[in-house]
Amino acid sequence: MKALRRLLLLVFGHGVSSVLHSLQYFYTGSSGLSTFPEFFAVGTVDGVQFEYYDSNTQRIVLKQDWMEQYTRDHPNILEAETGNYLGYQQTFQADIGILKKIFNQTGGTHLYQYMYGCEWDDDDGSTDGYNQYGYDGEDYIALDLETLTWVAAVPQAVPTTQSWDQDEARLQYWTYYHTKECDYWLKKYLSYGKSTLQRTDRPRVSLLQRSPSSPVVCHATGFYPDRVVVFWRRDGQELHEQVDPGEVLPNHDGTFQVSVDLNLKAVPQEDWGTYECVVQLRGIEEISTPLDPALIRTNWEDQSGLTIPIIIGFVVLLLTAAAVVGVLLYKKRNGSDTSSENTDGQNLAPEAQPLTTVQS
């Protein structure tokens, strides 16, 4: 999904002058998974999870200390949003049954996903939004905010999009949400979580190499926020050939990591001194690490070096698994005043209903 790629953002190029903030909600309904909740929801700000709900506990779990203060300031919000989640929980299970009929499925494991949110660039003030559904890991329906129409990713979704396009009230609500309301709540959450969400953590940079013939990896980790620029430079010029950039991945502590490979097969070792890895992150000075054999941690020199790539590979494996779970997630409505939450819940809940109505 297009929006899923926004969860893991990597920007290569010069100049880290702004930060792209995001508010995202993910809902997932499942069937055929005995050890997995039939429904769960996750809310994130700037990729940091701030709340969680699932059908097993049927309650909201706050994941950040600043959310505790938020709920103290809005004492009715948890009850209102728990009710909203319960409604979606029932809707998602009904819709999975309908989707299985649509796709002629009688059993097996199936996942129904819903995601929406918005982004805000704190430099130029621009905003963007997304609202989409997926089934079994594939796109199903998405809202085109430019034309204000629902787009079917597969033929089976066409009847639903035709019905939703006729619902002017819902379309107007989503226009308002993505242009006004989501931006409002994103900034409110950023204000509450300022000490953690708007901080800057300096990256730790290492050079790694698995074998003498392997690429040299520039690995930056422990940085925050995730909008980082990492590139290789030779004689002051950024390299576009010989490099293989990776994607930004989350660490368990809320920071991020990224690796950029440099292929040196055609480079004599006497020229290594002209190469350097550069890391740029807003709020810190540029970090430059020269391509010096003495700085490269390897697999073949000593026992300690052996564990480094293994650990990194294991972390990446875990993060990949987490990303797959993230691909399954679902959307939830944030809040402030009780009246605002209840009104929004009434507007949002029908979004899953037409699937059942149209396809039954």
Question: Which range, of 146-155, 266-275, 281-290, 347-356, averages the lowest pLDDT?
Answer: 347-356
Count of C-beta atoms within a 10 Å radius of residue 36 = 18
Residue 9 and residue 320: Cα distance in Å, rounded? 14
How do residues 181-207 score in pLDDT, each as one tens digit? 999 999 999 999 999 888 899 999 999
Q: Tell me: the pLDDT tens digits for 17-42?
A: 567 889 999 999 999 998 889 999 99
CB 299 within 8 A of CB 211: yes
Query: Going by CATH, does the domain composed of 2-196+328-359 fall within 3.30.500.10?
Result: yes
The yes-or-no verdict on residue 106 having pLDDT over 50 is yes
From start to end of 126-166, where are the E strands?
Answer: 127-135, 138-144, 149-152
* Average pLDDT for 224-230: 89
Token digits of residue 327: 């691909």
Of 27-41, 96-110, 138-152, 329-343, the least confident: 329-343
Domain segments of the chain as ranges: 2-196+328-359, 204-323
Topology, domain 204-323: Immunoglobulin-like (2.60.40)
pLDDT tens, residue by residue, 51-70: 999 999 999 999 999 999 99
As a whole number of angstroms, the distance between CA 121 and CA 127 comes to 6
Q: How far apart are the first and last CA of the chain?
A: 26
pLDDT confidence tier of residue 301, bands split at 50, 70 and 90: low
Residue 24 has what pLDDT? 95
